[in-house]
């Protein structure tokens, strides 16, 4: 077997492992959720192996034809594969250690997207009344003073969606307008 064939085989093996990791991921359906960096390290092994093998194969495939002796090319390939895998591991673990930011809840948007019905017409740049039914209101209908978010009049009986609620006034938009955007 030619020495460069080994490096080409390493490139192919690294690609196969990388594609498998991309398709199946590092999570297993039967595994408990990740809670510690140690568990994350164990699940990263296939991805890091793919990085190491692929890098070693690529470096060896370039170094050997460049005229380096086989031992030097192989050493350079292995060391570069391990170094790149270590850098990838450190980068992934550093990114995983960053805590998710918990944005402060804005109560004005608690009903955002909730559907309602106009029960008292909303005049242009004025207020009317909407009724919201369902889970978002505790299963009993609730009424809110309402205004159109863009100042257009909305007739009674039209379906709307809440954008926000400020000072007990629901700012709404007609579903027909929302459907046009979708």
Predicted confidence (pLDDT) per residue in 6-30, tens digit: 888 999 998 998 888 777 765 555 5
Q: Confirm if 93 and 40 have CB atoms less than 8 A apart.
A: yes
Kindly report which listed range (1-15, 68-82, 165-179) carries the lowest average pLDDT score: 1-15
Question: What domains, with CATH codes, occur in the chain?
Answer: 3-97 (no CATH), 107-181 (2.40.50.140)
More confident residue, 106 or 128: 128
CA 34, CA 93: separation in Å to the nearest integer? 12
Query: How many residues are given for the chain?
Result: 182
Q: Please state, as a whole number, how many other Cβ atoms lie within 10 Å of the Cβ of residue 155.
A: 10
Tokens encoding 64: 């050997």
Q: Confirm if 38 and 32 have CB atoms less than 8 A apart.
A: no
Strands, E, within 14-135: which ranges?
A: 115-120, 128-132
Region 57-69: mean pLDDT is 90
Q: How far is CA 113 from CA 100, 108, 117, 159, in A?
A: 25, 12, 13, 12
Q: Confirm if 166 and 115 have CB atoms less than 8 A apart.
A: no
Does the model's pTM come out above 0.75?
no
> What is the predicted pLDDT for the residue at 110?
87
> What is the predicted pLDDT for the residue at 163?
93
């Amino acid at each position: 077997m030619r020495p460069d064939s080994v490096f080409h085989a390493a490139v192919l093996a690294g690609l196969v492992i990388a594609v498998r990791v991309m398709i199946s991921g590092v999570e297993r359906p039967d595994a408990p959720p990740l809670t510690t960096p140690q568990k994350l390290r164990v699940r990263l092994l296939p991805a890091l192996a793919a990085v190491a093998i692929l890098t070693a194969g690529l470096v060896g495939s370039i170094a050997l034809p460049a005229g380096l002796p086989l031992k030097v090319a192989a050493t350079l390939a292995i060391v570069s594969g391990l170094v790149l895998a270590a850098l990838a591991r450190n980068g992934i673990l550093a990114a995983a250690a960053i805590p998710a930011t918990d944005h402060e809840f804005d109560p004005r948007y608690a009903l955002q997207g909730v559907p309602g019905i106009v029960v008292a017409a909303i005049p242009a740049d004025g207020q009317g009344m909407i009724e919201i039914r369902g889970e978002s209101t505790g299963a009993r209908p609730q009424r809110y003073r309402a205004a159109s978010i863009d100042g257009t009049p909305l007739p009674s009986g039209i379906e709307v969606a809440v954008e926000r609620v400020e000072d007990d006034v629901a700012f709404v938009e007609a579903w027909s307008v929302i459907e046009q955007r979708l």
